[in-house]
């Protein structure tokens, strides 16, 4: 989120208080823009209905990667430049398996990491947009778009949910 | 580099009858100097701007080239005017004869772009039948020996031929004028023309004597024959006609008289092909385990001193008179005499002793057995040994007495090999004028006042009559590499005859040999024809065999209790005249597999009793330090030491290797005896490791070598080879059997014929540019030979059976090495060859590990042009011997036997040009060509007509480690021992 | 998850607050280390110098400076290669298997284990390169389009499989390791005092903010990588074992090798992890994070794996006899069990199969100094195992004429020492510049302590 927009930040001291607040707010159908935590809080992710399709992507990488590798091996070993090694047939399939397996793993890793870095916007020399430096240490914060929510109601609910502090940015 | 210029101008092709055109040489020289001065980056060039630019431009190009490809740049300087008889890249073969003073062999010399690079046997010769020996094969390298004399020397200083000639002639004139004595000391001369030249010399300077001195003397035999037949010569032996061969210490397959000839004949009688049902039987009595002994069907270790008594006993029991004196081995004598009598006229008894009495006994025995005229023929005398020891002893006496004024030495080196060297040296100092005409540096020439270096035989004209009425011709392949002159010509000059030796030779042949034939009626045709064939057989004049004057010496059986020394010639080095040849130095001894030095062989029992272990240093007679080698089959209480080592002044390769054992010879009956001197020894407590190419020699019951006895074989030809049938039955494969629709190259090894002589090994080395790696590397098991001969012992270590098994790349159709190379550097081709692409190899060594036969060799270092490996490959001259058809491998790549792919290719191209199908048998790999025993057969397995195909179907055929299903293309025929049970 | 913690009790002791965790773990990072560190670094550099000299000789003169020969084509270099790869297995095995099994107790160990993996695999990867005769042509092994045909490579060659497997393994374990560190780098960044430190770690942290979107994708990436890398853990050493198993040489040609190698790898790897964790614990007083319980768990694994190793050795002997193959029988019984290389064999057997059995006793398990020694002994034993496999088999193969003994030259020893130096140096740097324990993972575990055990310190119970 770009910093020109006004944001309301609610800071919590523990995962539990964060979760309680989250449930309460959602009851009042107030959706936080984003939640920042020092470690993955699965309940929160579930509550926010965050789902990743990354594993599907990886599966396809693996599938097509495997086919590509086998095709390459077959082309180079049988079609392009067949050589007789110790009387083995040119298409020495059992030997191909090992290579294919390992290369599939390699391909999946590389592409998955790429996808992750693209989707989660995590890449070298990226300037972090830090809302509150303490999130990476011990604080759990909720961030709301001041434009979208009713400010007073939100303040009320946050105070009720025992937010350690509430401020705007 | 300046040196190199010289070589290039010298190595001009030389056809019989025409010398090099100087214009051409000059232009060549000029051409070189330009290029070379550039390559030099040249300090010699004066730095003009033009030169600078030239150099800059050239070095830029050179730099680019050097960087762009990893192979070092080799300068190839083309002919400006091409001599019409040379096609660059095409080899020519010229017939010639090899004789080094001991061994004779009729050869074909392969010449490439004007330089001889390979020696092959001459199949036209009725004597050697195309066989060669390791020494013959290696002789081509001595031509390019950097340590040869390069100019005439006067007391070590360089002089011109003119001065040398004038001064020496003056000297001779002066001496003969005052009735002084000139002595010409030579090794045995078998060249009729040379003998004629010598006579000319003797006549010019009256009072000149000619004395022959053999390093490997047979004077005992010569004298015995003189006493018996009135012929002072050696008889011809027909080992092929003998059904029972009994040898007393004669290493006739390795070093005795004419090993190549004997091996060809011996092997012929040991072959079991074409339904030949029987093979000859061979019994050996000897001290040390010799090559011949290792091939014997029965072998009895005896002390040298027992020989005489044994022969006396044998003769006695043959003639019926009761045996006198009994010895350790006299047990077999009774049995032996029985066998011999049953083989009257079909047996052969030979003896290597140099004792006249003993030889008289042997002659007597053969005579009693009617072997003369059947297996022995004194009417065809052999001239390979003519030296009479007493004459030599007398000469040394005279020299010391000061009655010899001038001494000419031809191809002989007494300072090194005369047992009482000090005495000879003092004699030499008393002799006013000493002239050495030796080819290479040696101890004697180093002490002579003049050295008039002779040519290498590949630079010389000559002829040879090794056996009466069998002539060989010798023609030069190349202009003298150095400023040398063949010794015959020197003699002619000094005796005032200025004709070149070639013309002299032609004249001699025209007068003496041309009349002896009818085919050619013009001498020119006869001459050219002889040059082409290399041999001339005028046909034997048949005559009855002379009867023998029975001279039986009183037999005084002396069996000493002391430790007896037995001096033998090693198969590689012989008497040491080729010591400076790195190929021979690194050729593993056929029996001990040791290289680069000699050692004291003792029997296991003897070692145990005296607390000796391998490589223990012992001191013999308090003046000779030598390492011990425990040798199965060595006679108890004896020590065998090889001659030919301990050279002092023979060049960078040989000097200081091993010890000189000649001083251990003793004089008996006027002759020098290599065996029987009683010695004492003390253990020094130090160790001196001898490098060996094979350390373990026991088979542990592994079916690697399969053998059987003759009886078994008669019962079932597949005897001893049952395993083969079994494995063939289980023969299944996951993949389809490999099929080859053109050629399928195969090699068959007959273990029964292979004597293990090692000729193949050196032939392979010469053919395939195999590097010499030196003692330390060999001791690290890094010897590079592509073909090795494994030697295994079976049975009682005091009296073992021995087998020799040549092992080269098996070119397996299911090759384990091919599967594991990650970079496809060693795939299989469509003719069944297992190839190595040196440029592709990255040297993982995985193929070496996965080869069950361990025939793959790795280039651990840069062996060529590396100061650490200062052998022939380290000088521009030495590298002239390299075969241009074969890559010189670089550091870090794997290499191995290629079945001489280049030779296969050559023959294919010939066939293609002649527009016909190649018959596989036309291809002969280097090892096959060299083998005197014809134990190796190469050919096309798809061609039913080829011998190799037949051999592969033979019941005796098996494959090495066939249970691994590697499907080798090399087959082995079982060894059959003619043992009596 | 909860059940795991219930039996085992708290995974982190000392009643930590989240902030404490960050502070404790970050404390050493970038701060002035003690004298021991410089001492260690000095020794490591000495080793590196020796190694560098040995490598120089190897490259300039050739591998002739080694004592391998035309029968024993592979010597120490391959022994060490396999040894390092084995050690390099622990990290991945640790984090990945335990990750997939949801074993939360791994959290305070896997970071160090993974760091170790990367260092070890780096050392290992050196050997295949330098053992070549012409290392400057190593790229021939890659199937790239070229002007020689194009001539491709031989897919039948286990060495090619090796090349693929090792490089993939290095790449994947490194990225997996780094991925795990990103949030921790962010933590360091946000707590950094100096500007430089902040700058450096903000680069390292790839702009991590800790938003739920990031966490979500981060977690699933972690699981995907973990899942496939788990296959790799098994495949890499199986493939290494095929270098031997797929050959025809007695002592190499055995189907037992793949599992045997993998287990062996995990064995040596875990031993090395133990060595390392004991050090970290001692030096940085991380007793609260690396609890006795952790080491105890490793010890239990070790004793179990050691039994498998013993069984494997006995199986090898049994098959050598049972197969009736005279070549193999000779090799195993005449050259390994007895004969020239008997010492190496028995050293292997005692170090790997006998001594670890001491871990049955709780006393020894809990005695860190003994455990430390044993963990070292195990790695020694594993070295001997590789020596047995590689060298003894080649020194006595089919033809007696080709039998030969092999002893390393000082150059080969030097290269080995060099890699040890490299490894130690890498670990020391890791100690100094990287959070040794996965902060965010520990934090997530901390919560469960609170949940199931309240805030109070708990008495550990080992049943």
Q: How far apart are CA C347 and CA C338, in angstroms?
A: 12
What's the average model confidence in pLDDT over B73-89?
A: 71
Longest Cα–Cα distance of chain C, Å, equals 74
The mean pLDDT value of chain A amounts to: 83
Per-residue pLDDT of B121-143, as tens digits, reads 998 888 888 889 999 999 999 99
Residues B948 and B941: their CA atoms lie apart, in Å, by: 7
Query: B374 and B345 in contact (C-beta within 8 Å)?
Result: yes
Query: Cβ B828–A89 below 8 Å, yes or no?
Result: no
Interface of C with A in 163-182 (CB under 8 A): 164-165, 168, 171-172, 175, 179, 182
| Cα gap C269→C275, rounded to integer Å | 10
Distance from CA of C404 to the nearest CA of B (A): 7
Highest mean pLDDT among B368-372, B518-522, B807-811, C351-355: B807-811
> What tens digit of pLDDT does each residue of B188-235 get?
999 999 999 999 888 888 888 899 998 888 998 999 888 888 888 899
ipTM above 0.90, yes or no: no
pLDDT of residue B402: 85
Res B12 pLDDT > 50: no
Two tokens, residue A135: 């999130």
Task: Residue B964: list chain C partners with CB under 8 A.
Answer: 248
**Is residue A40's pLDDT more than 60?**
yes
In a mutational test of the B interface, the residue from A86, A95, A98 whose CB has the highest number of chain B CBs within 10 Å is A86
Choose the mutation target among A2, A44, A89, A98 for the interface with C, i.e. most C CBs under 10 Å: A98
Contact present, B578 and B139 (Cβ < 8 Å) = yes
A11: phi then psi, degrees, rounded to nearest 5:
-105, 135
Chain A residue whose CA is closest to C204: A124
Q: What is the DSSP string of C155-176?
A: TT-HHHHHHHHHHHHHHHHHHH
**Cβ within 8 Å, pair A87-B829:** no
- Look at B818 and A89 and tell me if their CB atoms are within 8 Å: no
Question: How far apart are the C-alpha atoms of B336 and C163, rounded to whole Å?
Answer: 67
Contact of C263 with C123, CB cutoff 8 Å: no
* DSSP letters for B167-191: HHHHHHHHHHHTT--EEEEES----
- Residue A89 distance to chain B (closest CA, Å): 7
What confidence tier does B377 reach under pLDDT thresholds 50, 70, 90? confident
Residue B39 near residue B74 (C-beta atoms within 8 A): no
Residue B585 neighbours by CB under 8 Å, 6+ apart = B572, B573, B579, B595, B596, B653, B654, B657, B772
**Statement: residue A30 has pLDDT above 80:** no
For tokens 């010899």, the residue is B404
Report the candidate in B92, B94, B95, B96 with the shortest Cα–Cα distance to residue B113. Answer: B92
Number of Cβ atoms within 10 Å of the Cβ of B953? 9
pLDDT at B164 over 80: yes
pLDDT tens per residue across span B462-500: 999 999 888 999 999 888 888 899 998 898 988 888 888
Q: Which two tokens stand for residue C226?
A: 């973990």
Return the ∠ at Cα B320 (arms to B318 and B325), rounded to 5°: 80
The answer to whether C182 and C256 are in contact (CB under 8 A) is no
Partnered with residue B678 across adjacent β-strands are B564
A84/B814 CB distance under 8 A: no
Q: Within an 8 Å CB–CB cutoff, is residue A27 touching chain B?
A: no
> Tens digits of per-residue pLDDT, B933-956?
999 999 999 999 889 998 999 888
Q: How far is CA C227 from the centre of its chain?
A: 19
- Separation CA C367–CA C347 (nearest Å): 24
Return d(Cα B353, Cα B375) in angstroms, integer. 19
d(CA B804, nearest CA chain C) in Å: 11
Q: What is the pLDDT of residue B1?
A: 36
- Report yes or no: C129 and C63 within 8 Å, Cβ to Cβ: no
A82 in reach of chain B (CB within 8 A): no
Output the CA angle C283-C288-C290, nearest 5 degrees.
65
CA distance B420 to B414: 9
Instruction: State how far the alpha carbon of B819 is from the alpha carbons of B734, B842, B846, C129, in Å.
Output: 15, 15, 10, 20
Residue of C64, C243, C404 lying closest to B781 (CB–CB): C404
Measured distance CA(B152)–CA(B159) in Å, rounded? 6
pLDDT value, residue C223: 83
The shortest C-alpha distance from C364 to chain A (Å) reads: 36
pLDDT of residue A51: 77
Question: At residue B771, does pLDDT exceed 50?
Answer: yes
For residue B229, the model assigns a pLDDT of 86
Whether B65 shows a pLDDT value over 50: the answer reads no
Q: Give yes or no for B831 touching A (CB within 8 A).
A: no
**Of B698, B699, B732, B705, whose CA–CA distance to B721 is shortest?**
B705
Q: What is chain B's alpha carbon radius of gyration, rounded to the nearest angstrom?
A: 29
Q: How large a percentage of chain B has pLDDT more than 70?
A: 89
Query: Would an 8 Å CB–CB cutoff place C194 in contact with chain A?
Result: no
Residue numbers in B near C135 (CB within 8 A): 842
More confident residue, B794 or B23: B794
CA B921 to chain A, closest CA, distance in angstroms equals 25
- Range 117-136 of C in CB contact (< 8 A) with B: 131-135
* Listed residue (C228, C94, C244, C81) closest to C169, CA to CA: C228
Residues of B in contact with C61 (CB under 8 A): 861
The per-residue pLDDT for C158 is 92
Residue C160, pLDDT score: 92
Q: What is the mean pLDDT of chain B?
A: 85
Please calculate the CA angle B764-B769-B771 and round it to the nearest 5 degrees: 100
Q: Give the integer Cα–Cα distance in Å for B30 and B40.
A: 15
User: In sequence order, which residues have a C-beta less than 8 Å from that of residue A37 and are 6 or more positions away?
Assistant: A15, A18, A44, A135, A140, C210, C212, C215
Residue B73 pLDDT class (50, 70, 90 cuts)? low
Q: Which of A82-86, B439-443, C18-22, C87-91 has the lowest mean pLDDT?
A: C18-22
What would the pLDDT profile of B663-680 be if each residue is shown by its tens digit? Answer: 988 888 888 888 888 888
Out of C135, C157, C399, closest to residue B704 by CB: C399
CA B758 to CA C334: how far, in whole Å? Answer: 32
Give the pLDDT of chain C (463 residues) as one tens digit per residue: 333 344 445 566 656 677 777 777 777 776 777 788 899 899 999 999 999 999 999 999 989 999 999 999 999 999 999 999 888 887 777 777 777 766 666 677 778 888 888 899 889 989 999 999 999 998 999 888 888 778 889 999 999 999 999 899 888 888 888 888 888 888 888 887 788 888 888 888 888 888 888 888 888 888 888 888 888 888 888 999 999 999 999 889 888 899 989 888 888 888 988 888 888 888 877 777 777 777 888 888 889 999 999 999 999 889 888 888 888 888 888 888 888 888 989 999 999 888 988 888 888 888 888 889 999 999 899 999 999 999 989 998 899 999 998 999 999 999 999 999 999 999 888 888 888 787 887 777 776 555 444 433 333 333 3
- What's the pLDDT band for B602 if we cut at 50, 70, 90? very high
């Amino acid at each position: 989120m770009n910093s020109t927009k006004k944001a309301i930040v609610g800071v919590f001291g523990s995962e539990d208080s964060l979760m309680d607040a989250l449930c309460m707010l959602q009851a009042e159908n107030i959706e936080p823009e984003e939640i920042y935590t020092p470690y993955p809080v699965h309940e929160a992710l579930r509550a926010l209905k965050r789902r990743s399709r990354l594993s599907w992507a990886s599966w396809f990488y693996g599938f097509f990667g495997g086919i590509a590798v086998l095709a390459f091996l077959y082309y180079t070993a049988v079609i392009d430049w067949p050589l007789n090694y110790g009387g083995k047939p040119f298409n020495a399939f059992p030997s191909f398996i090992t290579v294919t397996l390992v290369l599939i793993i390699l391909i999946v890793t590389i592409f998955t990491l790429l996808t992750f870095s693209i989707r989660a916007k995590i890449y070298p020399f990226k300037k972090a947009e830090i809302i509150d430096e303490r999130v990476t240490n011990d604080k759990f914060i909720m961030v709301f778009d001041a434009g979208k929510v009713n400010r007073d109601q939100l303040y009320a609910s946050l105070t009720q949910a025992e937010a350690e502090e509430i401020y705007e940015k | 580099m300046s040196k190199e210029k010289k070589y290039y101008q010298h190595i001009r092709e030389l056809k019989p009858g025409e010398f090099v055109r100087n214009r051409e040489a000059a232009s060549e020289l000029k051409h070189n100097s330009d290029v070379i001065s550039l390559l030099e980056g040249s300090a010699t060039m004066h730095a003009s701007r033009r030169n600078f630019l030239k150099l800059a431009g050239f070095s830029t190009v050179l730099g680019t080239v050097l960087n762009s490809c990893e192979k070092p740049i080799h300068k190839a300087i083309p002919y400006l005017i091409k001599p019409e008889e040379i096609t660059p890249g095409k080899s020519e073969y010229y017939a010639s004869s090899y004789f080094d003073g001991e061994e004779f062999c009729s050869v074909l010399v392969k010449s490439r772009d004007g330089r001889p690079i390979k020696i092959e046997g001459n199949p036209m010769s009725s004597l050697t039948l195309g066989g060669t020996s390791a020494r013959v094969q290696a002789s081509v390298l001595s031509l390019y020996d950097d340590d040869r004399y390069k100019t005439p020397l006067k007391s070590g200083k360089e002089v011109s031929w003119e001065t040398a000639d004038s001064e020496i002639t003056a000297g001779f004139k002066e001496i003969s004028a005052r009735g002084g004595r000139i002595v010409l000391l030579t090794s045995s001369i078998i060249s009729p023309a040379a003998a004629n030249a010598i006579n000319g010399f003797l006549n010019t300077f009256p009072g000149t004597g000619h004395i022959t001195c053999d390093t490997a003397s047979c004077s005992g035999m010569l004298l015995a024959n003189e006493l018996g037949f009135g012929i002072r010569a050696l008889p011809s032996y027909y080992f092929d006609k003998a059904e029972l061969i009994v040898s007393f210490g004669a290493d006739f397959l390795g070093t005795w008289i004419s090993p190549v000839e004997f091996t060809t004949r011996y092997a012929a009688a040991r072959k079991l092909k074409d339904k030949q049902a029987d093979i000859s039987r061979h019994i050996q009595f000897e001290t040390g385990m010799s090559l011949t002994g290792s091939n014997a069907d029965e072998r009895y270790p005896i002390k040298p001193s027992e020989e005489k008594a044994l022969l006396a006993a044998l003769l006695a029991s043959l003639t019926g008179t009761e045996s006198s004196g009994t010895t350790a081995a006299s047990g077999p004598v009774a049995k032996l005499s029985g066998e011999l009598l049953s083989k009257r006229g079909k047996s052969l008894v030979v003896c290597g002793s140099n004792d006249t009495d003993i030889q008289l006994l042997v002659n007597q025995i053969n005579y009693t057995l009617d072997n003369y005229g059947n297996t022995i023929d004194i009417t065809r005398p052999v001239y390979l040994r003519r030296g009479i020891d007493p004459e030599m002893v007398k000469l040394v006496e005279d020299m010391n007495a000061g009655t010899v004024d001038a001494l000419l030495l031809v191809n002989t080196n007494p300072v090194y090999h005369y047992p009482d060297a000090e005495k000879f040296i003092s004699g030499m100092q008393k002799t006013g004028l000493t002239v050495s005409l030796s080819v290479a540096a040696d101890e004697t020439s180093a002490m002579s006042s003049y050295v008039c270096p002779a040519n290498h035989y590949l630079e010389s004209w000559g002829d040879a009559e090794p056996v009466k009425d069998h002539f060989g011709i010798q023609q030069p392949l190349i202009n003298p590499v150095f400023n040398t002159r063949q010794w015959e010509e020197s003699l002619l000059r000094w005796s005032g005859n200025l004709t070149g030796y070639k013309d002299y030779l032609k004249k001699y042949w025209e007068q003496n040999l041309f009349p002896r034939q009818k085919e050619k009626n013009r001498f020119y045709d006869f001459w050219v024809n002889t040059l082409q064939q290399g041999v001339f057989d005028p046909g034997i004049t048949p005559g009855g065999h002379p009867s023998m004057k029975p001279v039986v010496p009183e037999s005084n059986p002396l069996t000493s209790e002391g430790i007896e020394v037995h001096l033998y010639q090693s198969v590689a080095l012989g008497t040491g005249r080729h010591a400076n040849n790195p190929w021979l130095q690194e050729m593993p001894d056929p029996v001990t597999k040791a290289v680069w030095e000699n050692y004291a062989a003792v029997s296991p029992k003897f070692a145990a009793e005296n607390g000796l272990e391998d490589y223990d240093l012992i001191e013999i007679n308090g003046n000779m330090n030598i390492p011990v080698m425990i040798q199965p089959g060595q006679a108890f209480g004896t020590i065998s030491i090889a001659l030919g080592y301990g050279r002092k002044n023979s060049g960078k390769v040989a000097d200081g290797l091993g010890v000189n054992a000649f001083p251990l010879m003793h004089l008996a009956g006027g002759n020098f005896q290599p065996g029987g001197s009683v010695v004492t020894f003390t253990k020094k407590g130090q160790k001196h490791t001898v490098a060996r190419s094979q350390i373990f020699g026991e088979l542990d019951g592994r079916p690697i070598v399969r053998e059987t006895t003759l009886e078994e074989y008669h019962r079932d030809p597949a005897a001893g080879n049952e395993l083969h049938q079994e494995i063939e039955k289980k023969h299944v494969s996951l993949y389809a059997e490999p099929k080859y629709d053109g050629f399928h190259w195969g090699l068959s090894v007959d273990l029964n014929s292979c004597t293990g002589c090692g000729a193949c090994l050196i032939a392979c080395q010469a053919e395939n540019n195999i590097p010499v790696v030196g003692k330390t590397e060999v001791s690290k098991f890094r010897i590079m030979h592509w073909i090795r001969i494994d030697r295994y012992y079976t049975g009682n270590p005091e009296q073992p059976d021995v087998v020799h098994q040549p092992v080269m790349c098996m070119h397996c159709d299911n090759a384990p090495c091919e599967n594991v190379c990650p970079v496809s550097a060693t795939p299989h081709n469509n003719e069944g060859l297992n190839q190595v692409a040196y440029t592709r190899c990255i040297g993982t060594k995985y193929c070496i590990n996965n080869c069950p036969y361990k025939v793959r060799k790795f280039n651990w270092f840069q062996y060529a042009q590396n100061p650490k490996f200062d052998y022939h490959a380290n000088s521009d001259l030495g590298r002239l011997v390299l075969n241009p058809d074969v890559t010189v491998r670089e550091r870090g790549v794997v290499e191995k036997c290629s079945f001489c792919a280049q030779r296969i290719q050559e023959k294919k191209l010939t066939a293609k040009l002649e527009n016909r199908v190649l018959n596989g048998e036309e291809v002969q790999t280097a090892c096959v060509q060299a083998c005197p025993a014809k134990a190796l057969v190469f050919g096309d397995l798809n061609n039913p007509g080829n011998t190799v195909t037949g051999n592969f179907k033979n019941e005796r055929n098996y494959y090495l480690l066939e249970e691994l299903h590697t499907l080798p293309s090399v087959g082995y025929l079982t060894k059959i021992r003619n043992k009596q049970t | 998850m909860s059940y795991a913690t219930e039996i085992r009790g708290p995974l982190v002791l000392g009643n930590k607050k989240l902030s404490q965790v960050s502070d404790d773990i970050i404390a050493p990072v970038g701060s002035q280390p003690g004298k021991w560190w410089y001492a260690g670094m000095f020794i490591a550099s000495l080793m590196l110098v020796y190694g560098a000299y040995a490598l120089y000789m190897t490259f300039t003169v050739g591998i002739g400076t080694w004592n391998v020969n035309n029968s024993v084509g592979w010597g120490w270099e391959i022994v060490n290669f396999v040894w390092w790869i084995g050690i390099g297995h622990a990290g991945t095995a640790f984090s990945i298997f335990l990750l997939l099994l949801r074993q939360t107790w791994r959290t305070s160990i896997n970071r160090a284990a993974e760091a170790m993996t990367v260092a070890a695999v780096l050392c290992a990867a050196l050997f295949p390169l330098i053992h070549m005769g012409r290392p400057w042509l190593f790229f021939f092994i890659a199937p790239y389009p070229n002007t020689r045909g194009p001539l491709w490579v031989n897919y039948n060659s286990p060495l090619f499989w090796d090349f693929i497997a090792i490089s993939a393994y290095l790449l994947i374990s490194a990225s997996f390791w780094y991925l795990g560190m990103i949030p921790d780098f962010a933590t360091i960044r946000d707590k950094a005092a100096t500007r430089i430190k902040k700058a450096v770690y903000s680069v390292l942290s790839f702009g991590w903010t800790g938003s739920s979107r990031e966490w979500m994708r981060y977690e699933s990436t972690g699981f995907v990588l973990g899942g496939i890398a788990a296959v790799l853990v098994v495949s890499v050493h199986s493939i290494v074992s095929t270098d031997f198993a797929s050959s025809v040489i007695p002592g190499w040609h055995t189907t037992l090798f793949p599992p045997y190698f993998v287990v062996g790898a995990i064995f040596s790897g875990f031993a090395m992890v133990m060595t390392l964790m004991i050090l970290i614990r001692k030096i940085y007083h991380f007793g609260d994070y690396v609890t006795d319980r952790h080491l105890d768990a490793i010890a239990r694994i070790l004793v179990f794996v050691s039994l498998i190793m013993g069984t494997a050795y006995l199986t090898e002997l049994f098959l050598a006899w049972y197969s009736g193959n005279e070549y193999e029988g000779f090799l195993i019984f005449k050259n390994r069990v007895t004969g020239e290389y008997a010492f190496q064999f028995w050293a292997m057997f005692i170090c790997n199969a006998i001594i670890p059995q001491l871990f049955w006793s709780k006393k020894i398990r809990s005695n860190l100094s003994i455990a430390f020694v044993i963990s070292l002994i195990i790695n020694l034993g594993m070295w001997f195992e590789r020596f047995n496999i590689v060298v003894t088999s080649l020194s006595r193969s089919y033809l007696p004429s080709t039998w030969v003994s092999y002893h390393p030259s000082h150059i080969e020893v030097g290269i080995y020492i060099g890699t040890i130096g490299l490894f130690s140096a890498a670990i020391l740097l890791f100690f100094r510049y990287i959070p040794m324990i996965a902060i965010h993972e520990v934090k997530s575990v901390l919560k469960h302590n609170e949940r199931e055990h309240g805030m109070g310190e708990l008495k550990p119970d080992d049943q």
